[in-house]
C-alpha cells in the first residue's frame, strides 16, 4: 500500500473514505477501478483540492447543489463539473467514517439486514451502515445532479421550474390525462 501527498478526483475513483494512518492522522483511502492507496489529507481536503483545481471552492459547491436540488439533507458534491464527476457521502460529510461514492461506479444496491450492500463497477461490494432507502435516495440525488450539470454543459440555458409550484396531471372521468391545462396558460 502506498501513500501520495496530493490527489485530484477523476473518473477512475470508485469511492473514498477516511482512514487513520499508523501515526493516528486522518487520511483518505482512495479506491480506483484497479488500485487502492492513501492520500495524506482528510477526505474533505481532497474534495476541496479537486474543486479548487478547477477554480471553484467547497463552500460554493454546496449551495450550488442545493439550488439544483433544494430538498436534500446530505448533498452530493460536484467534484469536477468539467467531467461531470460527482461524489456523495454515505452519511454526514463531516464524520470521519463517511464513505464518498462516485455514483457512476455503483452497479446496484440491495438490503443486507439493516444495512446496504453496494455492488461496485470494479467487481467489489461494500456494506454501508445505512438503510437501503436512505442510501438509494442519496444515490438518486447524485445522479440527478450529474444529469443537470451535463444538460447545462450541452445547453448553457437550463430552465428549472419552481419546485414548490407543481401542476398535477390527473385522469379525468373518461380515464384520460387532461393535458389541456397547458393550453390555458
Q: What is the pLDDT of residues 149-172, one digit of tens each?
A: 766 555 554 444 444 555 555 567
> How confident is the model over 94-124, as pLDDT tens digits?
888 899 999 999 999 999 999 999 999 999 9
Which residue did the predictor score with more confidence, 145 or 105?
A: 105
Which cell is 97 given?
A: 467514517
Range with the lowest mean pLDDT among 8-17, 50-59, 117-126?
Answer: 50-59
Count of helix runs (H) and strand runs (E) in the chain: 4, 10
What's the whole-model pTM score?
Answer: 0.73
Q: pLDDT higher for 76 or 74? A: 76
Taking alpha carbons only, the member of 75, 103, 132 closest to residue 15 is: 103
Amino acid at each position: 500500500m502506498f501513500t501520495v501527498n496530493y490527489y485530484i478526483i477523476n473518473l477512475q475513483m470508485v469511492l473514498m473514505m477516511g482512514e487513520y494512518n499508523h501515526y493516528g492522522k486522518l487520511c483518505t483511502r482512495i479506491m480506483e477501478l484497479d488500485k487502492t492507496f492513501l492520500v495524506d489529507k482528510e477526505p474533505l481536503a481532497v474534495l476541496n483540492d479537486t474543486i479548487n483545481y478547477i477554480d471553484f471552492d467547497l463552500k460554493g459547491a454546496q449551495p450550488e447543489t442545493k439550488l439544483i436540488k433544494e430538498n436534500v439533507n446530505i448533498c452530493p458534491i460536484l467534484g469536477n463539473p468539467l467531467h461531470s464527476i460527482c461524489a456523495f457521502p454515505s452519511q454526514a460529510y463531516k464524520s470521519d467514517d463517511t464513505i464518498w461514492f462516485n455514483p457512476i461506479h455503483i452497479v446496484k444496491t440491495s438490503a443486507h439486514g439493516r444495512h446496504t450492500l453496494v455492488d461496485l463497477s470494479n467487481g467489489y461490494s461494500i456494506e454501508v451502515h445505512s438503510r437501503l432507502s436512505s442510501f438509494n435516495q442519496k444515490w438518486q440525488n447524485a445522479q440527478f445532479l450529474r444529469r443537470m450539470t451535463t444538460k447545462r454543459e450541452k445547453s448553457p440555458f437550463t430552465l428549472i421550474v419552481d419546485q414548490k409550484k407543481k401542476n398535477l396531471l390527473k385522469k379525468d372521468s373518461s380515464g384520460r390525462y387532461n393535458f389541456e391545462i397547458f393550453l390555458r396558460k
